[in-house]
């Protein structure tokens, strides 16, 4: 697993051994002051898919990573649960000497972000939960097509098929502008089948519903009214159960962190820079 790839915008890739797995970690704006923003990515998604969004935070230290089995990180010998993924991320942050951070969880990464905030409340300052849910057994599923496609990574194996089916999974603007989805997905890296299926299993067997009310971190929930993969009812549930959460709904689908990245970037920056402690 090489860690000497070319990283854009002055960022840096490195390999960090975390709880028995080598993870590929990307850091950006390391010289900037302030709390780092840790980004937990979506199902099967490597760091590269986040580049356009990270451009919206030019003054903030950023940490992103390929989850175990995804991108260029190693596949664990046994499937990792969401709590185990959280333990890996905690080890990464310890290795980077991060003892306080803000965390953004996108889609699948929202489960990881919630778990990290629950297990390590002194570590996580503020939370951003975008197009995500309270877990497979505590959520509303998307359309039957989206659900069937999410179970297998064939869209990663066959790029043409992925560009065709992706808009039907994501809904909203992806359906109306399929070229936009194609542009978004061009940097995707095919995950291993073992790593991808383990991520699916981890989410389907996890829920945060029993302890969501214990998450006291200031939280910005973000949803897409036209999301056919993780319907907006999921974000409404998160915001209703968390004691210190606010919610913003966009007229967009599951692509909104790309299609509305400038608006989302401004919203998140305002939230993270605000006075809530």
Task: Considering the candidates 107, 139, 192, 208, report the single residue annotated as catalytic.
Answer: 107
The CATH architecture one would assign to domain 8-140+190-273 is 3-Layer(aba) Sandwich (3.40)
Strand pairing category for 62-65 and 37-40: parallel
Residue whose pair of structure tokens reads 């709880």 in the numeric block: 19
52-108 tens-digit pLDDT: 999 999 999 999 999 999 999 999 988 899 999 999 999 999 999 999 999 999 999
List, for residues 11-62, the tens digit of each pLDDT value. 999 999 999 999 999 999 988 889 999 999 999 999 999 999 999 999 999 9
Nearest to 257 by CA among 222, 218, 228, 220: 222
Give the whole-angstrom CA distance, residue 163 versus residue 227.
Answer: 17
What was the pLDDT predicted at 2?
45
Ordered by start, the domain boundaries in the chain are 8-140+190-273
pTM, to two decimals: 0.94
**Is pLDDT at 277 greater than 80 in this prediction?**
no
DSSP 10: G
Kind and range of the H or E element at 146? helix 144-150
Q: Is 168 helix (H, G, I), strand (E, B) or coil?
A: helix
Phi then psi for residue 173, to 5 deg, are -65, -25
Catalytic: 185? no
């Amino acid at each position: 697993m090489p860690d000497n790839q070319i990283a854009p915008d002055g960022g840096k890739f490195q390999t960090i051994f975390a709880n028995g797995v080598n993870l590929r970690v990307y850091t950006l704006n390391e010289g900037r002051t302030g709390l780092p923003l840790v980004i937990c990515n979506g199902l099967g998604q490597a760091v590269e898919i986040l580049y356009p969004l990270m451009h919206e935070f030019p003054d903030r230290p950023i940490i992103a990573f390929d989850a175990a089995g995804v991108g260029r990180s190693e596949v664990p010998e046994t499937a990792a649960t969401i709590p185990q993924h959280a333990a890996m991320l905690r080890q990464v942050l310890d290795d980077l000497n991060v003892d306080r951070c803000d965390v953004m969880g996108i889609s699948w990464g929202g489960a990881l972000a919630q778990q990290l905030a629950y297990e390590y409340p002194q570590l996580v300052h503020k939370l951003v939960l975008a197009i995500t849910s309270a877990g497979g057994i505590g959520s509303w599923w998307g359309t039957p097509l989206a659900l069937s496609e999410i179970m297998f990574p064939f869209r990663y194996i066959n790029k043409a098929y992925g560009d065709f089916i992706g808009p039907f999974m994501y809904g909203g603007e992806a359906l109306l502008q399929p070229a936009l989805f194609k542009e978004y997905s061009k940097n995707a890296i095919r995950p291993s089948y073992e790593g991808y299926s383990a991520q699916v299993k981890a989410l389907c067997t996890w829920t945060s519903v029993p302890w969501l009310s214990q998450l006291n971190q200031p939280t910005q929930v973000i949803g897409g009214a036209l999301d056919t993969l993780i319907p907006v009812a999921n974000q409404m549930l998160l915001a209703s159960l968390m004691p210190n959460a606010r919610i913003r709904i966009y007229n967009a689908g599951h692509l909104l962190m790309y299609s509305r990245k400038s608006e989302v970037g401004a919203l998140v920056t305002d939230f993270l820079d605000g006075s809530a402690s």
